[in-house]
Amino acid sequence: MALVHSLEKNGNFLFKYRGQIPVILFLMAIPTIYFTDYEFLKGNDNGKLILTIIAGIISFAGLVIRSIAIGTSNKNTSGRNTKEQVAEALNTKGIYSTVRHPLYLGNYFMWIGIVVYTFNIWFVLLISLMFWLYYERIMFAEERFLEKKFGQSYVDWSMKVNAFWPGFKNYEKTSIPFSMKTIMRREYSGVTATIIGFIFIDFFRDWFTEGEVQWKVNHGIVVVIALLISLIFRTLKHNTKILFEEDRS
């Protein structure tokens, strides 16, 4: 099999199972936290607070990037599907005029913020490398599909827009209005998973540094609220038309 076909096949396989990334990340985080030396945190509340704020800002930036991409995309565009490549329209304006894969960029920031919260620089570098190797193949497969689907129009757009890191010299305003309904309908699970991710890291760090399980009331309250909000939006999405939009998926 030619390398290009092998990369495309691998990319399509990884694309289908990309939803399992959070599970892998959480499992890897446990031994990382266990073997991380947190002595520098003792008596250094300001340092911990600063690192926590940085981690939170990074994850929030990822959620914002995803929200902009999803909130200004119409139905059946690339990146909106979960099992196979689907695209009936090509996004080239708005955030897509600055970066070809804003959803994957958002994913990176969203999850790397949680990784930063482990306070282990080596884990941050490892996950960044793994993320790149994983998503590079997914992006390759997606771009092969889009090139076959849209031909020269896709090639022309891809030649002037960066794949992963944004560039703003070719920015074009999108004609598709931002939809908060779309965000509420599609992003509630990602927000909930991010919140639980931070609680997860905090729980195991407290456990390993204190030598015993630390049950915190605020952890439970935050998780319950996050899950409740997620349940509400899921119910509205699947059982009502409150969040329905004609030309949005």
For 121-166, the DSSP string reads HHHHHHHHHHHHHHHHHHHHHHHHHHHHHHTHHHHHHHHHS-SSS-
Q: Rounded distance, CA 92 to CA 154, Å?
A: 9
Q: Tell me: pLDDT of 86 over 90.
A: no
Phi, psi dihedrals of residue 215, rounded to the nearest 5°: -85, 115
Q: What is the mean pLDDT of residues 83-94?
A: 69
- The residue extents of the domains of the chain are 3-176
Confidence of residue 18 (pLDDT cuts 50, 70, 90): confident
Q: Tell me: pLDDT of 174 over 80.
A: yes
**pLDDT, greater one: 8 or 87:** 8
Radius of gyration of the chain from Cα atoms?
Answer: 20
Q: Tell me: pLDDT of 120 over 80.
A: yes
CB of 66 within 8 A of CB of 189?
no
* Model confidence, pTM: 0.88
- Summarised one tens digit per residue, pLDDT across range 30-62 is 999 999 999 888 888 898 999 999 999 999 999
Token pair 């926590």: residue: 52
- Summarised one tens digit per residue, pLDDT across range 190-226 is 999 999 999 999 999 999 998 888 888 999 999 999 9
Mean pLDDT of the residues in the chain? 87
Residue 76 is predicted with a pLDDT of 61
Q: Rounded distance, CA 237 to CA 186, Å?
A: 9
Q: Which CATH architecture has domain 3-176?
A: Up-down Bundle (1.20)
Q: Tell me: pLDDT of 231 over 50.
A: yes
